[in-house]
Structure 1
Amino acid sequence: MAMEEADSAGRFLTKKETQVRLPRSTRVQNKTPATVQITAEQILREARVQQEAEIRAHKEKFTDAEELSEYRLLKRKGFEDHIRAVTSNISVWVKYAQWEEPKGFCSCKVHMGKSVEGGLPEHDVMAEVFRNGNEKSIFERWMTWEPDHHAWSAYMEFELKYNETDRARAIFERYVQCHSTVKAWVRFAKFEVRNGEVARARRCYERAIEKLGEDGQFEELFIAFAQFEEKCKELERASYIYRYALDHVPKGHGEELFSKFVSYEKQYGNREGIEDAIVGERRFQYEEDVKKNPLNYDTWFDYLRLEESSGNRQRTREVYRRAISNMPPVEEKRYWQRYIYLWINYALYEELEAKDMERTREVYRDCLKLIPHKKFAFAKLWLLAAQFEIRQKHLSGARSLLGTAIGMAPKDKIFQSYIEIELQLGNLDGCRNLYEKYLEWTPANCYAWTKYADLENGLGETERGRAIFELAIAQPVLDMPELLWKAYIDFGISRKEHERTRQLYERMLNHTKHLKVWVSYAKFEAGLPLEEESRAEEEGREPDPQVVEEQQKQRALRARGVFERAFENIRSSTPELKEEGAMLLEEWQETERNIGDLANVAFVQEKMPRRVTRKRPVISNDGTPAGFEEYTDYFFPEETGIAPNLKILEAAYRWKKQKVTKDGEE
């Protein structure tokens, strides 16, 4: 009403007008309990009372045979229509047969025949219909056809329905003879368990394993057997069955078996059993991995570490043999590097863990025979085999191995280690012979020449050491001649043969004019000890100051002369190496400062170049310009030809700096 008035007035309703008013709550005055309580019993009683009467079909009475036949015709028509709609529904056929059964057995039999022809399971129909003494004979005739599992199950259930346990057991015996499968044997065992025959059930499982033989190594059978023992509280037997199964079931068919075993150990096992289960789980995973890729040596290493930690030597050796049997398919060293470490670990395991020295020697021998030494070699393997023989105090065996290695696959590491072993044994003649073979094999190896000379010098054979150095520097080709010259010069300095050392520097400059050689030569001259001071120290007197001063002047002049020769050589022979010239002057200047009172720093300062930052174009690989880059250039005082350009650049730089300063002030 209010809305109609608002619409007629052409306005909106207010909040007060649209508010819904509810009755206010009242307080309960009478708190005494009601006569009839609302309980579950009361609710069910009321529902029962108020329930409508069941509708029952009325009984039909027929006055004559014609009326009865019409009724039967209608019922048959209804059944036939229903069967055509759902032909595979066995309950419809059974109801039809049950309805026909009181009228005559032949009619019922006809309908059962139709059901069988329709593809329905025969035993289901038979079990529902035939209630006379011919059931067993029918089943026996059926079993002669050797039907599937369902038919046998129906026969056994029929016998058990009448508590014919012995006959059911006999049927099971025939069943497992007809179908000797895991499924049949497990059903037989479960039948015995239901009847409380534990011993018979265990015998069923044992007969199944014996009967099936190799074909019976299926995880379902072992799982059922182990679970049976577990239910019987025979935990040791269950654990043994699990372990036996894991050892005999193929690796690729035991996932569920292993999962059940792990669960069993976690539930009933002790700490060792649980650890064994975990190790077994990891072992199973490694087996799967190496089966997929047998050349994955990292997986083999992990697998071997697992077996070594378990402490089973037989299993560990078996895994090692399987691992080393997977040789790389290509004879290239990069493919063999990881593979060789399998052999090395195998040998170390036999020596350190198994303590089997003969087997260790055999492992090294087999590995060395396997390697194609003409294509590549592994010095580490030869040395490990030789060191093993030394630990066994079999020096002749170690020398034989290393000699064979030098003859078949000579390498620097083998020579060096062999020489070190002979040196520790004090066999100096053997060391000399090895150095001679070493240098015959690689005459350009400066390291070998240096170590040979150091050996002779360490033994006090100075002349032999000097002769070796002379032979070395006379070689036409050397891999690192600077190291050889440095070692020879250090040898002369250590012997205080200054004149010989000076001659060595001069000979070295005939081979190379490198900046480092000039600097080292100059510093050698500047750092020579004074003869007067050395002689006075030997004679136990004070040195003569005048002689000392004269010798200091001569020393400074010699060092300065070397620097001058070096600077002149760089500026005349390689004028483009300006940076090397600047570095030489810096070293010269530093040396002059260290001379002391006789220094001539100003003379060197006059030769110092001016450092200027310049730009030059950058050309990419395809020949196109790629911008500019900054570089540092040096201008020496004697370079007067470029002085005007240099002055222009300096003036431009000062102008730019003044302009930037002026703009900043404004």
Structure 2
Amino acid sequence: MSTQVTADSILRDAYQNRDRPLDRPEQTIQDLDELRSFQLTKRREYEQQLNKNRLNFGQWVRYAKWEVEYNHDFQRARSIYERALQVNVEHIPFWIHYIQLELTNKNVNHARNLLERAVTSLPRVDKFWYLYVQTEETLGNYDMVRVIFERWLTWHPLQSAWDSYIGFERRYEEYENARVLYSRYVERFNFTGEVWLKWIQFERRQAEGYERSVFENAIDSMISAWQGRLSTHAQENQEDVFFANIIDKWTRWEVSVEENERARAIYVKLLEIIHRVGGDVMESKGASLIQQQYTEFEKTYGNQNSIEESIYAKRLVRYKIELESDPNDYDTWWAYIKLTQKVKSGNHEEICKIFENAIENVPKTDTVKSIRWKRYIYLWIHYALYVELNSQSDVEAARSIWNRCIQVVPKNKFVFGKVWILFAEFEIRNGGGTDINSARKVLGRSIGVCSSIGKPKSKIFRFYISLEKKLGEWGRCRKIYEKWLELDTSATSVLLEYINFERELGETSRVIGLFEIGMEFNFNGIWKSYIAYLQEETEYAKAREVYRRVINFNLSESGSVWISFAMFESKIPTEEQLRIFEAAGNANDNEDDEIEFSITDIQRNKTRSIFKEASMALKQHPEQRITVLEAYKYYEEHQGSPESIQEAVKKLPTAVIKRRTNSNGIEEEYVEFIFPEDEQKKPEVSKFLANAKKWMLQNKS
């Protein structure tokens, strides 16, 4: 009976036998012919695989290992490796397997030959060199190890090669050889801080007395290298960190051998070099690290003075860094200069150099007299005064600075009066006390500059006038005032100063002449002073004339002038009072005694007449008229009788609200003031006109 095979049974059998391993037939080799047949079969398989993919280096390795492990045929294995190297001589793992094969089987000479071939063919591969020196060191061939390292170094390898060479010498306590290598090491890598730190660590570990010389050579070489380096900014910052670490280790070592003063001197000298060379040698990162170390050192081992010096030095570095980023920061320049003067008061040349660096940064972008310009000019002033007072009477140098300062200011835009005044004072101080012509020339130049831009500086003129007053040169003072007024005819304050000057000299005619000139140019600014002067000189008639000139000049705005005019009549004495005053003055030599006079009816009546005249003159200007009448009422309330008060009140207007059509055709309300005084003087025809109008309307109807 046959069994039926179904798809289900096939799948079931396959599932049940899925984990059963494949049973291969065992093959046993009985004689030499079978061995050779087996070897031939395996070699054919390997060759077929390599013919398919010659770049399968794992297959080459397995092939060579099979020849060695199963057949002990080194010749065939070497042949396989050589064939593989012909495929790709740069395949490093294959070289390593090849060399390890020879070393494992103690074929030393073969391994040496391979290593020699490897480092000759691929000298940039550090792994071959490491394996080469490791092999020779294991064999105890130390001279050969040094030869191999020297050959390796000719290819300028990385720092790891140098570290390995030095490590080899240290293992066998050849410390002098290690020092020679370190000296070559730092020179090869351009005296970088990282290499110096390795050498320093080595010397500190040996403690044979070479530490200080290594520290000194490290600092000297790094500073020298920085002055000419052209590396990137990031590398500069990294070198700064190494540099700061070396300084820290050096000073700590000096402290450990109880050389605190030497450690302090290291910091001081180093900071001097940094300040002198500037930002091309050390950027902010390294400078701040060193300064921080110095501050911590002084806090631990210093006194109060040394701590202050370290803080000052730190601030100087910070200022310098800020100025490198913004050379036009004049506030920082000012602080930098002041601190430098405090710390290095005796170093005149260095301070002058800082001043020169500061004034080179002209605020060219500002075309007006800005705050930046003012701060910049103050640097010039500080510089000139410093040179004058601290350069052993080098007057010419200070004068040159003043002249340069004047030249740097754009003369066609603005003037710094303070500079000219200080320059003139400088010439006075250095003129021997008798010759002030140089100062006059300076001030004359300043006035000429003011003339060129049409903007006179009051500071300069006032200083010049004050100088000539002290010398009693009244004629020169007048010329200066005249020049001042020539440049600015609208300067009322200048004219008043000129008038006061003439009043002090008792030049009455000149004073009146100047007032008259002022009245021609500016009534509003001069007439009050003019009247006050005339009142003081008892020129009352002239004062009344001035009042009327001012009123006629601008009648529409003359309300306040009328009020002042009216009150003036109550302030001045009558003719009788004036005679009494003069008689009392002749009888009493003491001019300081005051004589009081009361207001009489004569003065009141004159005041009332002015108020009434003003009311009539201002008919066309109701607002000004109301102001005058209010002042009239106020005056009567304080100086008049009930009847006069009532009379003043009757003159006040009545406000009437009316309607009118404006220019846009819109009806609007407005206020009209009705003055009783005007109503009384109108002809009484209003009743006649009313009757006529009534008759006309009746006829139309």
Check 1:179–1:603 CA distance in 2 against 1; reply closer, same or farther (3 A cut): same
Q: 1:399 aligns with which of 440, 464, 471?
A: 440
- Secondary structure at the residue paired with 1:333? coil
| Cα deviation 1:464-499 (Å, max 9, x = unaligned) | 2222222332x3xx2x43221112111110011212
| Alpha-carbon distance between aligned partners in 1 of 2:70 and 2:569, rounded to the nearest angstrom | 139
Q: Is the 8 A contact 2:295 2:311 kept in 1?
A: no
Q: 2:378 aligns with which of 341, 349, 370?
A: 341
RMSD over equivalenced CA pairs, Å: 4.4
| Alpha-carbon distance between aligned partners in 2 of 1:231 and 1:123, rounded to the nearest angstrom | 37
Check 1:94–1:424 CA distance in 2 against 1; reply closer, same or farther (3 A cut): farther
| Alpha-carbon distance between aligned partners in 1 of 2:110 and 2:314, rounded to the nearest angstrom | 64
Q: Is 1:500 paired with 2:522? A: no
| Cα deviation 1:230-278 (Å, max 9, x = unaligned) | 3132333333333333343442525234323322332333323322222
- Secondary structure at the residue paired with 1:295? coil
Check 1:604–1:386 CA distance in 2 against 1; reply closer, same or farther (3 A cut): same
Q: Is the 8 A contact 1:262 1:278 kept in 2?
A: no
Residue equivalent to 1:657: none
Residue equivalent to 2:253: 231
Q: Which amino acid aligns with 1:499?
A: A
- Once the two structures are TM-superposed, the CA of residue 165 in structure 1 deviates from its matched residue by 1.8
1:389-538 to structure 2, matched below 5 A, reads 389-392=427-430, 393=433, 394-410=435-451, 411=456, 412-473=458-519, 475=520, 478=521, 480-513=522-555, 514-536=558-580, 538=582
Indicate the larger mover: 417-426 or 242-251: 242-251
Amino-acid identity (%): 28
Q: Is the 8 A contact 1:222 1:245 kept in 2?
A: no
Q: Is the 8 A contact 2:191 2:221 kept in 1?
A: no
Q: Is 1:188 paired with 2:202? A: no
Q: Is 1:261 paired with 2:307? A: no
| Alpha-carbon distance between aligned partners in 2 of 1:405 and 1:157, rounded to the nearest angstrom | 78
- Secondary structure at the residue paired with 1:121? helix
Q: 2:131 aligns with which of 117, 125, 150?
A: 125
Q: 1:554 aligns with which of 567, 582, 602?
A: 602
Q: Which amino acid aligns with 1:231?
A: W
| Cα deviation 1:393-435 (Å, max 9, x = unaligned) | 3522222211222233242332222112211222222212222
Q: Is the 8 A contact 1:607 1:636 kept in 2?
A: no
Q: Is 1:175 paired with 2:178? A: no
Residue equivalent to 1:323: 358
Q: Is 1:384 paired with 2:422? A: yes
Indicate the larger mover: 100-109 or 408-417: 100-109
Q: 1:248 aligns with which of 273, 276, 298?
A: 273
Q: 2:312 aligns with which of 270, 274, 279?
A: 279
Residue equivalent to 2:336: 303
Q: Is the 8 A contact 1:423 1:431 kept in 2?
A: yes
Q: Is the 8 A contact 1:439 1:449 kept in 2?
A: yes
Q: 1:142 aligns with which of 149, 152, 158?
A: 152
1:605-620 to structure 2, matched below 5 A, reads 605-610=649-654
Q: Is the 8 A contact 1:186 1:221 kept in 2?
A: no
Residue equivalent to 1:50: none
- Once the two structures are TM-superposed, the CA of residue 331 in structure 1 deviates from its matched residue by 7.0
| Alpha-carbon distance between aligned partners in 2 of 1:222 and 1:506, rounded to the nearest angstrom | 87
| Alpha-carbon distance between aligned partners in 2 of 1:240 and 1:391, rounded to the nearest angstrom | 43
- Secondary structure at the residue paired with 2:369? helix
Q: Which amino acid aligns with 2:355?
A: Y
Residue equivalent to 1:364: 402
Check 1:454–1:89 CA distance in 2 against 1; reply closer, same or farther (3 A cut): same
- Secondary structure at the residue paired with 1:635? strand
- Secondary structure at the residue paired with 2:573? coil
| Alpha-carbon distance between aligned partners in 1 of 2:319 and 2:609, rounded to the nearest angstrom | 75
Q: Is the 8 A contact 2:99 2:115 kept in 1?
A: no
Residue equivalent to 2:86: none
| Alpha-carbon distance between aligned partners in 1 of 2:563 and 2:337, rounded to the nearest angstrom | 58
Q: Is the 8 A contact 1:294 1:326 kept in 2?
A: yes
Residue equivalent to 2:164: 154
| Alpha-carbon distance between aligned partners in 2 of 1:498 and 1:114, rounded to the nearest angstrom | 127
Residue equivalent to 1:659: none
| Cα deviation 1:286-329 (Å, max 9, x = unaligned) | 22222222223233233333334434353433222111111122
Q: Which amino acid aligns with 1:325?
A: E
Check 1:636–1:355 CA distance in 2 against 1; reply closer, same or farther (3 A cut): farther
Unaligned runs of 5+ in 2: 1-34, 36-64, 72-80, 82-90, 228-238, 586-596, 680-701
Q: Is the 8 A contact 2:169 2:177 kept in 1?
A: yes
| Alpha-carbon distance between aligned partners in 2 of 1:451 and 1:283, rounded to the nearest angstrom | 49
Q: Is the 8 A contact 2:657 2:670 kept in 1?
A: yes
- Once the two structures are TM-superposed, the CA of residue 520 in structure 1 deviates from its matched residue by 0.8
1:1-12 to structure 2, matched below 5 A, reads none
Q: 2:639 aligns with which of 595, 617, 631?
A: 595
| Alpha-carbon distance between aligned partners in 2 of 1:273 and 1:613, rounded to the nearest angstrom | 88
Work out the number of aligned pairs and report it: 544
Q: Is the 8 A contact 2:166 2:178 kept in 1?
A: yes
- Once the two structures are TM-superposed, the CA of residue 523 in structure 1 deviates from its matched residue by 0.5
Q: Is the 8 A contact 2:569 2:606 kept in 1?
A: yes
| Alpha-carbon distance between aligned partners in 2 of 1:378 and 1:69, rounded to the nearest angstrom | 99
- Once the two structures are TM-superposed, the CA of residue 95 in structure 1 deviates from its matched residue by 14
| Alpha-carbon distance between aligned partners in 2 of 1:195 and 1:424, rounded to the nearest angstrom | 82
- Secondary structure at the residue paired with 1:460? coil
Q: Is the 8 A contact 1:97 1:111 kept in 2?
A: no
Q: Is 1:204 paired with 2:214? A: yes
Check 1:386–1:613 CA distance in 2 against 1; reply closer, same or farther (3 A cut): farther
Check 1:370–1:221 CA distance in 2 against 1; reply closer, same or farther (3 A cut): same
Check 1:369–1:191 CA distance in 2 against 1; reply closer, same or farther (3 A cut): same
Unaligned runs of 5+ in 1: 1-65, 75-79, 81-87, 542-548, 618-622, 641-666
Check 1:540–1:433 CA distance in 2 against 1; reply closer, same or farther (3 A cut): closer
Q: Which amino acid aligns with 1:383?
A: I
| Alpha-carbon distance between aligned partners in 1 of 2:355 and 2:129, rounded to the nearest angstrom | 58
- Once the two structures are TM-superposed, the CA of residue 371 in structure 1 deviates from its matched residue by 2.5
- Once the two structures are TM-superposed, the CA of residue 175 in structure 1 deviates from its matched residue by 3.2
- Secondary structure at the residue paired with 1:373? coil
TM-score of the superposed pair, with normalisation by structure 2: 0.67
